[in-house]
């Protein structure tokens, strides 16, 4: 999910800057959507499935409520849906139904000066094929877009703290609290965007419960994501792109025990739309 | 409680269609459109006392909530014989608090989630022909997935008749892939054979400066095996007439065009649908909600 967001943001950022005059959508609503295919799905390092083909259709509606020059630069709300369809053991082959996961989320995002932003997100993780018990979560993301002072050397660091309200990602005994530290440095090579997102997932409390109790270290991942826009400017049909990437994930003991391996290479590709 | 399936009942089809049409009329297009591109987003959230899918009852207690989102893509527009070509993708959902939702055996609210894709051709004289594939799924496991292909021929006769237009249409829908795991299921009626559905309808209405009123009328029938009951396919499914009022919330803004809408629908049920409705041949449906187009 995370590097999907990276791919989309890469696809949209330069295009917006280049082609505002040709943008058919001048209002406060923005639609972002995509369809990705991958070989494995690890949710914050917790193995979900690595058999068959896994497909991720998703859509997000962003609403800009306020845009100004004061201390509070932007206020926005996002509402979206993210899904995971599996042909393998977590889907058709194992549970008889393709639709493994359906997430609904809503975010309130506040943008401050110097590229700093704070987002509060409520997410309901559901499993239409009953592959897991529903999880409800609230998360807080503090991010900094440092491309202003650092230009192409910007690392765009962020920190996420998420608290489970009901249900558990690790199917443990207690609701957990998750911490993620990450960054997403990127460069533009002509029309092609390349990002190298880094993520470290940790348990602050009961997030990675295993045979030996709660384990602090959940996973570390590094990825390379390439995004190629279909056109240099937005069209009447929005801005489309194809993107693909490779992610290397190394796991903590608890997640390794489930996967049966210490690390995993995840390959994925897809098509994205921003309108 | 009765069978299975669902999809947007009469009300939803009417609401979705009428809302989009009514909101898009010149009376409400007072301000500059912030989105003159080829993509149109339509969404709504409705509350109902009862969900009847083509006359087939889906809940006996509680309320139903219908969040829906549709993305319309105007792929072609011209002046020849083919006036327009459009694609629609969308999801329609039904959340139930009663016996088929959070108060039922599953304990889960999300009764129905439909995904659909449509290809629509617009011709001269207001005639249109649309083909829609729909997958009706039940996240809380209340029924087995139904897959359907539907054809709709419609005429917008408001060019000829103005306020007297009735906008008639005919729908033929066929259930697909009704044999799953060696069993016959995946049917709206929970019957023995995949069915074929026929619907005739019209939606006369008029628009004022502050509100629009629509009076959709429809009749649903089985062409084959759509309303099965104890091995007998009953031809007549239901007749419905409704009154819907839509009130725009201001004009078109940078946040799109919003409206509130509400209505009352009366359904007269046939033998099969009456049996599914606990023996009651008449059903009243009340609804209201919020909609927007961007």
Using CA atoms, how far apart are residues A92 and A102, in angstroms rounded to an integer?
Answer: 15
Name the region of B237 (left: φ>0; alpha: ψ -120 to 50; beta: rest): alpha
| Cα dist from A96 to A87, A89, A100, B182, B205, whole Å | 9, 9, 10, 13, 46
Comparing CA positions, the residue from B118, B150, B147 lying closest to residue B135 is: B147
Return all residues near A144 (Cβ < 8 A) that are at least 6 apart: A114, A115, A116, A117, A156, A157, A158
CB–CB of B38 and A236 under 8 A? yes
Q: How many structural domains is chain B composed of? A: 1
Of B204, B203, B266, B281, whose CA–CA distance to B236 is shortest?
B281
- pLDDT band per the 50, 70, 90 thresholds, residue B33: confident
Residues making up chain A, counted from first to last: 275
pTM: 0.84
Give contacts of B294 with chain A, Cβ < 8 Å: 27, 29
Per-residue pLDDT, averaged over A133-161, amounts to 93
User: Which residues in A lie closer than 8 A to residue B35 (C-beta atoms)?
Assistant: 24-27, 29
Residue range A204-230: average pLDDT?
A: 97
Residues belonging to chain B with any Cβ–Cβ distance to chain A shorter than 8 Å: 34-39, 41, 69, 71, 73, 91, 108, 110, 113, 137, 139, 141, 145, 181, 253-256, 294
pLDDT in tens, A85-96: 999 999 999 999
User: What is the rounded distance in angstroms from the CA atom of residue B234 to the CA atom of residue B222?
Assistant: 7
A149: confidence class by pLDDT, cuts 50, 70, 90: confident
A229: left (phi over 0), alpha (psi -120 to 50) or beta: beta
- Unique residue bearing structure tokens 């990602």: A169
Are A237 and B41 within 8 A, CB to CB? no
Cα gap B254→A101, rounded to integer Å:
33
User: pLDDT per residue over A259-268, tens digit each?
Assistant: 999 999 999 9
The complex scores an ipTM of 0.79
Q: How far apart are CA B216 and CA B230, in angstroms?
A: 32
Number of helical H runs and strand E runs in chain B: 3, 20
Are the C-beta atoms of residues B48 and B242 closer than 8 Å to each other?
Answer: no
| Residues B170-224 pLDDT 10s | 999 999 977 655 555 788 998 888 999 999 999 999 888 899 999 999 999 999 9
The Cα A43–Cα A90 span in angstroms is 13
| SS3 of residue B266 by DSSP | strand
B230: which 2 tokens?
């104890």
How far apart CA B225 and CA B228 sit, in angstroms, is 6
Which CATH number fits the domain that encloses residue B224?
Answer: 2.40.160.40
Q: Is the pLDDT of residue A208 over 80?
A: yes
Instruction: Express each pLDDT in B238-254 by its tens digit.
Output: 999 999 999 999 888 99
| Distance of alpha carbon B185 from alpha carbon B138, whole angstroms | 13
Give CB contacts under 8 A, 24+ apart, made by B66-69.
Answer: B66/B8, B66/B12, B66/B92, B66/B93, B66/B94, B66/B95, B66/B289, B67/B43, B67/B93, B67/B95, B68/B8, B68/B12, B68/B16, B68/B43, B68/B44, B68/B92, B68/B93, B69/A59, B69/B41, B69/B42, B69/B43
Structural domain harbouring B105 = 2-293
Nearest to A3 by CA among A275, A250, A274, A267: A267
Cβ of B39 within 8 Å of Cβ of A128? The answer is no
Distance CA A90, CA B264 (A): 43
Distance from CA of A261 to the nearest CA of B (A): 32
- Rg of the Cα atoms in chain B: 19
Structure tokens at A20: 């505002």
Cα separation values, A53 from A48, B17, B102, B140, Å = 12, 36, 32, 24
pLDDT in tens, B39-72: 999 999 999 999 999 999 999 999 999 999 999 9
User: Which residue of chain A is at minimal alpha-carbon distance from B72?
Assistant: A237
């Amino acid at each position: 999910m995370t590097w999907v967001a990276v791919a989309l943001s890469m696809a949209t950022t330069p295009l917006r800057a280049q082609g505002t005059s040709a943008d058919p959508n001048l209002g406060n609503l923005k639609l972002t959507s995509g369809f990705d295919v991958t070989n494995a799905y690890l949710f914050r390092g917790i193995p979900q499935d690595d058999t068959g083909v896994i497909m991720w259709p998703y859509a997000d509606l962003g609403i800009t409520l306020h845009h100004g020059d004061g201390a509070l630069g932007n206020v926005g709300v996002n509402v979206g849906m993210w899904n995971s369809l599996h042909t393998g053991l977590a889907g058709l082959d194992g549970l008889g139904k393709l639709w493994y996961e359906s997430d609904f989320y809503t975010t309130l995002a506040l943008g401050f000066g110097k590229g700093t932003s704070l987002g509060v997100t409520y997410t309901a993780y559901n499993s239409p094929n009953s592959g897991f018990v529903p999880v409800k979560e609230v998360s807080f993301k503090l991010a900094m877009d440092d491309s202003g002072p650092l230009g192409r050397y910007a690392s765009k660091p962020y920190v996420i703290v998420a608290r489970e309200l009901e249900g558990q990602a690790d199917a443990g005994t207690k609701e957990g609290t998750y911490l993620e530290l990450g960054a997403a440095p990127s460069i533009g090579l002509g029309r092609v965007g390349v990002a190298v997102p880094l993520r470290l997932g940790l348990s602050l409390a009961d997030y990675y419960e295993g045979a030996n109790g709660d384990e602090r270290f959940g996973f570390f991942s590094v990825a390379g994501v390439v995004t190629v826009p279909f056109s240099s400017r937005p069209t009447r049909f929005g801005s489309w792109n194809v993107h693909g990437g490779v992610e290397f994930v190394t796991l903590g003991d608890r997640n390794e025990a489930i996967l049966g391996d210490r690390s995993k290479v995840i390959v994925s590709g897809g098509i994205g739309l921003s309108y | 409680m009765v069978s299975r399936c669902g999809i947007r009942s009469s009300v939803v089809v009417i609401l979705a269609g009428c809302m989009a049409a009514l909101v898009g009329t010149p009376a409400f297009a007072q301000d500059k459109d912030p989105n003159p591109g080829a993509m149109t987003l339509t969404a709504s959230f409705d509350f109902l006392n009862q969900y009847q899918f083509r006359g087939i009852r889906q809940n006996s207690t509680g309320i139903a909530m219908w969040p829906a989102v549709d993305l319309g893509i105007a792929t072609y527009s011209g002046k020849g014989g083919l006036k327009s070509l459009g694609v629609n993708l969308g999801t329609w959902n039904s959340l139930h608090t009663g016996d088929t939702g959070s108060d039922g055996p599953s304990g889960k609210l999300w009764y129905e989630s439909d995904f659909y894709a449509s290809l629509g051709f617009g011709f001269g004289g207001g005639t249109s022909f649309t083909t829609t594939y729909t997958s009706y799924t039940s996240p809380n496991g209340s029924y087995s997935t139904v897959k359907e292909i539907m054809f709709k021929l419609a005429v917008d006769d408001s060019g000829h008749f103005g306020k007297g237009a009735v906008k008639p249409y005919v729908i033929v829908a066929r259930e697909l892939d009704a044999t799953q795991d060696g069993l016959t299921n995946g049917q709206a009626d929970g019957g023995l054979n995949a069915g074929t559905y026929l619907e005739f309808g019209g939606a006369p209405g008029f628009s004022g400066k502050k509100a629009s009123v629509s009076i959709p009328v429809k009749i649903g029938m089985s062409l084959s095996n759509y309303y099965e009951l104890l091995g007998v396919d009953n031809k007549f499914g239901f007749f419905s007439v409704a009154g819907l009022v839509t009130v725009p919330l201001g004009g078109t803004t940078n946040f799109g065009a919003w409206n509130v809408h509400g209505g009352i629908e009366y359904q007269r049920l046939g033998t099969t649908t009456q049996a599914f409705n606990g023996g009651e041949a008449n059903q009243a449906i009340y609804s209201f909600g919020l909609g927007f187009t961007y």
